[in-house]
């Protein structure tokens, strides 16, 4: 009977509801089916709080709820982007026309003709200069062809409260304008306008908030389209005016909390903006008599997994506010493992990875994949038991009118799917009179998720969300009173990869070593009690679990365990090395079920994740060369290769080859031992690039296990084939760096090198190089909100490269770190930001002249904003001085001296700078490698 009903529902859905709209897929997670069955549980009475770049409440799809009421009920800006300050106005009169004015030239006429007047005769006046938007994508906010309009406004306290009149058409008159209130009072969406009505199109929507105590008004808007897109996925209703084209929870209301400044790259957060937005949202949730869920499609890379300041704060907030739940995008730093971002690594948030569903792949991208895939970019777990789940990570959704990018992919698109799912569950629970517990919604979603075949837990967590099942689980949890006795679990275990910081999963990526019988790995499972529990409840807490490992190589010291009071349970494990002989990635988990119930997936309490990376080893037996057989990769799949960097290796070269006439459309990614991508774009194609080489040397090569990921584009029609060969060299060069040249009048500058070949193969190398230009290193210690460094580019300079590096523990305090290069008109010529603690930025100046570099750290909290960094600036000259060396054999285990000279004269660097360049040892044998030795010449050392 049940099976029949299920089929009927599916057919019914197919005919009538939004499941056909695969551009914004609401079927894959069962949201469409859920609403079809319970139309009142469509998110109604739930408020979704969106922390993003702002939400454009004027676009079709975000204007109203199914019952006709307004959808976006509040809009606040914590980024400071839309702040404008005002002052007390003066009064004047000209040709019998009254005006108020501000110091400077601004005059606003006809204040006396407004319907509302101040209770105390005091007007405040300010001006929004269009110039403020010069670094945004809409520098002409009223579309009149000019980018220097001024929009004056007045603010005063009327008998109905604080109100503003804004000269939206910039004509200096106020009597053609309407009174505007704080957005949440009357939900007024406003637009600036030119005076030619035909040009009043594609305008962004603004909302205001007045802060009289600070003499500040804020203009909230979405200048990037990211937040509007996210809002449409979570809760859009009749997108583009189309009946049936909805987001996941069309009945939910939205609050937009803007944390990203759209004039910074990627809409970066600013100091405190994320935290203040969460605090505002929590205050709202406390007062609101209904369910609240947060979405944050924001984040950066994790340097020390799960140990960032913002992550601790989010976990604390969830412990204190058990009604709510935060959904966070896992990050787009995949497909390497150990790449889940900050703050998605927070323990108690729901971290969401991105699914590429068959239907969306077909209808949005015209791709025919054989099954649902995890999107290649989706961040993966490692030291962390994250991501939690998957939801579709691509969509065509709402965007502001000025934007044409309605199609986007990213975990940013997946997170609002999960948020919408939570909203549906909360809406149903609320209408059914059930208690609302964020952690139990999370548990229901995770336990009912459906794993995707062919993927590890590090790729997908529990798998794909399925709302109808999640609701059955939630009801069951409430029925057995889990809302009264649930606890949070904090899992701690040692991770040697994480130095002295505890990890949340067993993660072994250290070559051959792994926990064995004699050196077991201890997991501690600590209960974290709800703030509302008293001492007795804490002391008397007792809970017992059955432990079940899903892989036979995971060996447990016990079959069950318990927690009593605050004392953690401990579980020791080791890995059976005999079963881990083949190189590759091994993942498995131990699931803990409540002892009093059956070992069904509904009763999962927590999981202990185990990972062992068995790399390929290069050594004398294989002549430090790793060679693959033919590899076949289906469209949308990733083939992972882990390789260990042998001791004494000074370069690693990855060669990729297509095979005969076989098809290939492959993108290669390389991740360092910490899971950070090495930025070297590499594509292998049977049509164009039939061979590719990736060189790792110098600072890009460290000891440890690298991950090479070969990804076949999901839009390909057929499988891709390739082979790889990875070769290492053991040429140790001294001095390193080269910091001295012999200078003699009438002779070329000369240098000498000593080379020792540690490996077992003779190599023939051509020595060459260049003096590229001049450079300077600056150590920054700063506390200001913006750090500025001026620089001058002469006509001899081709490009400037900045390398910015922060200590890991400093990076951990941040939510973003924006980087701008500006000219002295304040125009941003290059905008970027840190994903991890290091980044290289190349600036090609449009002309010689003066510029400045701006570093804008965004700290999680407003206290403790001290930071340090180093900045290397390298000026590359148009005319480089070539370094000429000889061709040399380097025999195994022997040292050899060789020399080189600079062809021509050395450039003269400005004072305070030194010359830089490099000497390369290019091997001439079949598998070319390159050892790069930096040259750094101080003026006095030449
Ligand atoms: Ca304009
Ligand atoms: Ca006007
Ligand atoms: Ca990592």
Asked if residue 78 lies in contact with residue 260, where contact means CB atoms within 8 angstroms, the answer is no
Distance 300 CA to ligand 3 centre (A): 12
Distance 70 CA to ligand 1 centre (A): 29
The neighbour count for residue 566, using CB atoms within 10 Å, is: 12
> Does residue 5 carry a pLDDT above 70?
no
Distance 202 CA to ligand 1 centre (A): 13
- The lowest-confidence range among 101-110, 348-357, 700-709, 829-838 is 101-110
Q: What is the pLDDT of residues 915-938, one digit of tens each?
A: 999 999 999 987 778 899 999 998
Asked if residue 360 lies in contact with residue 336, where contact means CB atoms within 8 angstroms, the answer is no
Distance 192 CA to ligand 1 centre (A): 9
Distance 534 CA to ligand 2 centre (A): 61
Q: What is the pLDDT of residues 139-188, one digit of tens each?
A: 999 999 999 999 999 999 999 999 999 999 999 999 999 999 999 999 99
Q: What is the pLDDT of residues 411-451, one digit of tens each?
A: 999 999 999 999 999 999 999 999 999 999 999 999 999 99
Distance 152 CA to ligand 2 centre (A): 9
What was the pLDDT predicted at 6?
37
Q: What is the dihedral of CA 34, 35, 39, 42, to 10 degrees?
A: 120
**Ligand nearest to the Cα of 509, by number:** 3
In 596-690, beta strands by DSSP E: 604-614, 625-627, 631-633, 638-644, 651-657, 665-671, 677-685
**Ligand nearest to the Cα of 200, by number:** 1
**Ligand nearest to the Cα of 149, by number:** 1
Residues with CB under 5 Å of ion ligand 3 are: 338, 674-675
The more confident residue out of 199 and 223 is: 223
In 401-538, beta strands by DSSP E: 407-409, 488-493, 506-508, 521-528
**Ligand nearest to the Cα of 204, by number:** 1
> Does residue 17 carry a pLDDT above 80?
no
Q: Which residues contact 883 (CB under 8 A, 6 or more apart)?
A: 767, 768, 769, 770, 771, 900, 901, 902, 903, 917, 919, 935
**Ligand nearest to the Cα of 169, by number:** 2
Distance 75 CA to ligand 2 centre (A): 24
Helices then strands, counting H and E runs in the chain, come out as 14, 52
Q: What is the pLDDT of residues 746-772, one digit of tens each?
A: 889 999 999 999 998 899 999 999 999
> Does residue 1 carry a pLDDT above 50?
no
Q: What is the pLDDT of residues 251-284, one digit of tens each?
A: 999 999 999 998 888 888 988 999 999 999 999 9
Q: What percent of the chain has pLDDT over 70?
A: 97
Mean pLDDT of the 91-119 span: 92
**Ligand nearest to the Cα of 341, by number:** 3
Distance 17 CA to ligand 1 centre (A): 43
Distance 191 CA to ligand 1 centre (A): 12
**Ligand nearest to the Cα of 383, by number:** 3
Residue 941 pLDDT class (50, 70, 90 cuts) = low
**Ligand nearest to the Cα of 836, by number:** 3
What was the pLDDT predicted at 2?
34
Residue 499 pLDDT class (50, 70, 90 cuts) = low
Distance 151 CA to ligand 2 centre (A): 9
Q: How many residues in total does the chain contain? A: 942
Q: In terms of DSSP bridges, do strands 253-258 and 72-77 run parallel, antiparallel, or are they unpaired? A: parallel
Residue 942 pLDDT class (50, 70, 90 cuts) = low
Distance 320 CA to ligand 2 centre (A): 48
Mean pLDDT of the 201-210 span: 93
> Does residue 8 carry a pLDDT above 50?
no
What was the pLDDT predicted at 18?
41
Q: What is the pLDDT of residues 165-177, one digit of tens each?
A: 999 999 999 999 9
Asked if residue 492 lies in contact with residue 504, where contact means CB atoms within 8 angstroms, the answer is yes
Query: What is the DSSP annotation of 719-787?
Result: -EEEEEEEEEE-EEEESSSB---B--TTS--EEEEEEEE-SSS-EEEEEEEEEEEEEEEEEEEE-SSSE
Distance 56 CA to ligand 1 centre (A): 19
CA distance 340 to 378: 8
Mean pLDDT of the 20-42 span: 92
CA distance 47 to 253: 5
Q: What is the pLDDT of residues 554-594, one digit of tens each?
A: 999 899 999 999 999 999 999 999 999 999 999 999 999 99
Distance 218 CA to ligand 2 centre (A): 19
What was the pLDDT predicted at 20?
67
């Amino acid at each position: 009977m049940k099976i029949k009903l299920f089929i009927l529902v599916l057919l019914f859905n197919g005919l009538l509801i939004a499941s056909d709209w695969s551009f914004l897929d609401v079927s894959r997670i069962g949201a469409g089916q859920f609403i079809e069955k319970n139309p009142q549980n469509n998110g109604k009475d739930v408020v979704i709080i969106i922390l993003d770049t702002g939400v454009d409440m004027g676009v079709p799809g975000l204007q109203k709820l199914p019952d006709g009421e307004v959808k976006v009920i509040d809009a606040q800006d914590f980024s400071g982007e839309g702040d404008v300050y005002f002052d007390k106005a003066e009064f004047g009169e000209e040709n019998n026309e009254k005006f108020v004015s501000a110091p400077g030239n601004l005059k606003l006429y006809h204040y006396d003709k407004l319907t509302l007047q101040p209770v105390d005769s005091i007007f405040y006046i300010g001006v929004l200069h269009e110039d403020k938007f010069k670094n945004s994508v809409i520098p002409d906010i009223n579309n009149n062809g000019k980018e220097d309009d001024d929009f004056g406004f007045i603010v005063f306290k009327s008998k109905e409260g604080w109100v503003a009149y804004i000269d939206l058409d910039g004509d200096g008159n106020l009597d053609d304008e309407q009174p505007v209130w704080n957005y949440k009072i009357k939900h007024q969406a406003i637009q600036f306008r030119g005076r030619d009505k035909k040009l009043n199109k594609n305008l962004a929507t603004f909302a205001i908030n007045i802060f009289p105590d600070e003499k500040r008004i804020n203009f909230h808007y979405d200048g990037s389209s990211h937040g509007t897109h996210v809002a449409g996925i979570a809760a859009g209703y009749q997108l583009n005016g189309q009946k049936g084209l909805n987001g996941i929870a069309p009945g939910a209301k939205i609050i937009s909390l803007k944390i990203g400044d759209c004039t910074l790259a990627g809409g970066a957060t600013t100091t405190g903006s994320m935290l203040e937005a969460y605090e505002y949202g929590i205050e709202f949730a406390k007062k609101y008599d209904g369910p609240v869920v947060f979405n944050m499609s924001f984040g950066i890379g994790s340097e020390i997994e799960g140990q960032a300041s913002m992550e601790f704060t989010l976990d604390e907030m969830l412990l204190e506010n058990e009604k709510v739940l935060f959904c966070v995008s896992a990050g787009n730093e995949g497909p390497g493992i150990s790449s889940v971002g900050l703050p998605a690594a927070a323990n108690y948030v729901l971290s969401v990875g991105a699914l590429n569903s068959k239907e969306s792949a077909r209808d949005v991208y015209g791709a025919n994949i054989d099954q649902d895939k995890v999107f290649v970019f989706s961040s993966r777990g490692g030291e962390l038991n994250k991501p939690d789940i998957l939801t579709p990570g691509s969509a065509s959704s709402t965007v502001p009118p000025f934007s044409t990018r309605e199609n986007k992919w990213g975990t940013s698109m997946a997170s609002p799917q999960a948020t919408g799912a939570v909203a549906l569950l909360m809406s149903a629970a609320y209408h059914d009179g059930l208690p609302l517990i964020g952690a139990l919604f999370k548990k229901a979603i995770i336990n009912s998720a459906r794993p995707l075949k062919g993927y590890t837990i590090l790729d997908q967590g529990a798998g794909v969300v399925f709302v109808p099942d999640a609701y059955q689980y939630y009801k069951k949890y409430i029925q057995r009173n889990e809302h009264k006795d649930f606890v949070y679990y904090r899992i701690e275990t040692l991770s040697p990869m994480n130095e002295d910081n505890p990890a949340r999963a067993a993660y072994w990526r250290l070559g051959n070593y792994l926990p064995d019988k004699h050196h077991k790995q201890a997991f501690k499972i600590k209960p974290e009690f709800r703030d509302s529990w008293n001492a007795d409840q804490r002391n008397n807490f007792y809970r017992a679990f059955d432990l079940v490992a899903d892989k036979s190589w995971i060996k447990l010291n016990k079959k069950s365990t318990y927690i009593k009071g605050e004392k953690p349970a401990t579980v020791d494990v080791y890995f059976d090395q005999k079963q881990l002989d083949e190189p590759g990635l091994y993942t498995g988990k131990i699931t803990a079920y409540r002892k009093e119930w059956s070992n069904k997936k509904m009763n999962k309490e927590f999981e202990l994740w185990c990972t062992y990376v068995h790399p390929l080893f290069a050594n004398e037996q294989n002549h430090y060369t790793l060679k693959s057989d033919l590899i076949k990769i289906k469209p949308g799949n990733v083939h992972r290769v882990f390789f260990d960097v042998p001791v004494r290796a000074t370069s690693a070269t990855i060669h990729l080859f297509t095979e005969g006439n076989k098809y290939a459309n492959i993108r290669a990614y390389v991740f360092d031992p910490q899971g950070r991508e090495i930025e070297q774009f590499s594509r292998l194609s049977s049509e164009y690039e039939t061979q590719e080489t990736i060189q790792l040397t110098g600072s890009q090569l460290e000891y440890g296990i690298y991950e090479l990921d070969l990804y076949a584009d999901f839009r390909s029609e057929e499988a891709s084939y390739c082979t790889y060969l990875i070769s290492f060299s053991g040429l140790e060069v001294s001095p390193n760096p080269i910091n001295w040249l012999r200078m003699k009048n009438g002779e070329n500058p000369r240098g000498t090198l000593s080379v020792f070949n540690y490996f077992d193969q003779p190599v023939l190398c051509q020595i060459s190089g260049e003096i590229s230009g001049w450079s300077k290193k600056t150590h920054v210690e700063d506390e200001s909100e913006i750090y500025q460094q001026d620089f001058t580019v002469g006509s001899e300079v081709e490009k400037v490269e900045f390398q910015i590096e922060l200590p890991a523990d400093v990076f951990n305090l941040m939510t973003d770190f924006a980087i701008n290069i500006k000219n002295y008109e304040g125009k941003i010529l290059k905008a970027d930001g840190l994903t991890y603690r290091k980044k290289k930025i190349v600036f090609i100046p449009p002309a010689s002249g003066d510029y400045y570099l701006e570093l804008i750290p965004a700290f999680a909290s407003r206290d403790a904003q001290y930071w340090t960094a180093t900045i290397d600036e390298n000026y590359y000259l148009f005319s480089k001085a070539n370094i000429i060396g000889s061709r040399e054999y380097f025999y195994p285990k022997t040292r050899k001296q060789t020399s080189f000279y600079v062809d021509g004269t050395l450039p003269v660097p400005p004072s305070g700078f030194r010359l830089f360049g490099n000497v390369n040892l290019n091997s001439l044998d079949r598998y070319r490698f390159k050892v790069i030795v930096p040259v750094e010449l101080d003026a006095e050392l030449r």
